[in-house]
Amino acid sequence: MADNRKTFVVLMGAPGAGKGTQAKILQEVLGLPQVATGDLFRENLKNETELGKLAKTYMDKGQLVPDEVTVAMVRDRLSRPDCVSGAILDGFPRTPAQAIALNKLLEEFNGHINIVPFINVNQEVLITRLQKRSEIEGRADDNAETILTRMKVYREQTAPLLNYFQERELLVEIDGDRSVEVVSAELQDVIRQAS
């Protein structure tokens, strides 16, 4: 980013929508770090922190990790030097309560949410993508039973965020059924306009 304003982007979309892939591209293009709660959880698991051990009990069941655990991990990550200009948040917030916590957290860093791109993908496509990812990466959280649980949890708990951000005029819907390149180009355009 050319000026000193902080840019915080919240990428939304169901599991398998391509948030991680797009966040990595945006990180390179915009120079903002990807702050992915999934990565934070794995980092805490690998380092066997107390937060990591607690998070694992929920992740293994395809359930959302409690807000206080997630917020503590995000606060720690945003306090690192590479987040001085902002960040691309991938996988957080997942509920309206987390969105409220994020607003308070960003105030601590003299920032706010600039835009919330929602990568919208058909559910059948999402399930196929997650099953393929499970085969390639061997991720325990992408088995058939857990995929269905994650979709149900997403619909029940995360989808209300769409209304939350829509009411605040931050939500921009992106058609995620297109190629990675086309989706990426549109994401870059909407983020630059909002920054």
Domains located in the chain, CATH noted: 7-194 (3.40.50.300)
**pLDDT, tens only, 81-113:** 999 999 999 988 988 889 999 999 999 999 999
104 is catalytic: no
Note the pLDDT tens digit of each residue in 31-79: 999 999 888 988 998 998 988 888 888 878 888 778 888 898 999 899 9
Look at residues 145, 141, 137, 143 and name the one whose alpha carbon lies nearest to residue 45.
141
Q: Average pLDDT, whole number, for the chain?
A: 88
Task: Name the active-site residue from 5, 53, 139, 192.
Answer: 139
Q: What is the pTM of this model?
A: 0.83
Among 6, 77, 94, 129, which one carries the catalytic annotation? 94
Whether residue 6 lies in the annotated active site: no
Q: Would you say 8 and 86 are in contact if contact means Cβ atoms under 8 Å apart? A: yes
Are the CB atoms for 119 and 186 separated by under 8 Å?
A: no
As a whole number of angstroms, the distance between CA 173 and CA 37 comes to 22
> Tokens at residue 125, please?
């496509």
Residues 153-195 have pLDDT tens digits of 888 887 889 999 999 999 999 999 999 999 999 999 999 999 8
Give yes or no: 192 in active site: no
Q: Catalytic: which of 24, 56, 75, 133?
A: 133
How confident is the model at residue 2, as a pLDDT?
39
129 included as an active-site residue: no
CA angle, residues 81, 94, 58, in degrees to nearest 5: 95
